[in-house]
Structure 1
Amino acid sequence: MSDALSIRETRTRLAKILDKAEAGEATVITRNGTPVAAIVPMDEYSALEEAADELLAREAVQHLGEPTVSMAEVLADLFSEDHDAA
């Protein structure tokens, strides 16, 4: 379980909170006793970002179907000289 600190406590202990995040521990920040944010280790944040991207991609495929062109083709079209002239 992570620590929960008020914004005031967070300000005074920020260096220690960052040390804890670096060591793998999350800290929840509260405002008037209500959790509003968290300082988490970067690997956890990166994993969350990757999971969100994967979820969005799966939802897009579910709603739109499989892509008919590759990302390489999209990028080639975007950066082609013919596209710039249009």
Structure 2
Amino acid sequence: MTENSVTVREARAQLADHINRAEQGMPTVITRNGLPVAAVVPIAEYEALEEAADVLLAREAEAVLAEGGGTVTMAELLADLFAEPDRGAA
């Protein structure tokens, strides 16, 4: 698989071409100031990455539980997710 790399400006100007490349199985890496910042990839590759991330997170959760890690209620989880960040933390 050949990787194509373009600047944000080039990607914007030729987005349809990069989408067509992705449909054909060829990713395009988008760079800003010479650094990779995004990619247009075939949807199957994106879905595989999402699935792999889900499996990894599930394995990590199982390991924590196996080590006697505690559980939390949904209310505790939501409170933690929506709590204000600690501004004094370094």
Instruction: Indicate whether the TM-score tops 0.5.
Output: yes
Aligned counterpart, 1:61: 62
1: CA distance, partners of 2:33 / 2:4 = 15
Flag structure 1 segments of 5+ consecutive residues without an equivalent. Answer: 66-86
Within-5 A mapping of 1:4-83: 4-65=5-66
- Shift of residue 6, structure 1, vs aligned partner: 0.3
Flag structure 2 segments of 5+ consecutive residues without an equivalent. Answer: 67-90
Instruction: Find runs of 4+ consecutive structure 1 residues off by over 6 angstroms.
Output: none
CA RMSD in angstroms comes to: 0.7
1: CA distance, partners of 2:63 / 2:24 = 38
- Shift of residue 39, structure 1, vs aligned partner: 0.6
- Shift of residue 64, structure 1, vs aligned partner: 1.1
1: CA distance, partners of 2:16 / 2:39 = 15
- Shift of residue 32, structure 1, vs aligned partner: 0.7
Q: How many residue pairs are counted as aligned between the two chains?
A: 65
What TM-score do you get using the length of structure 1 for normalisation?
A: 0.73
SS in 2 for 1:24: coil
2: CA distance, partners of 1:5 / 1:27 = 7
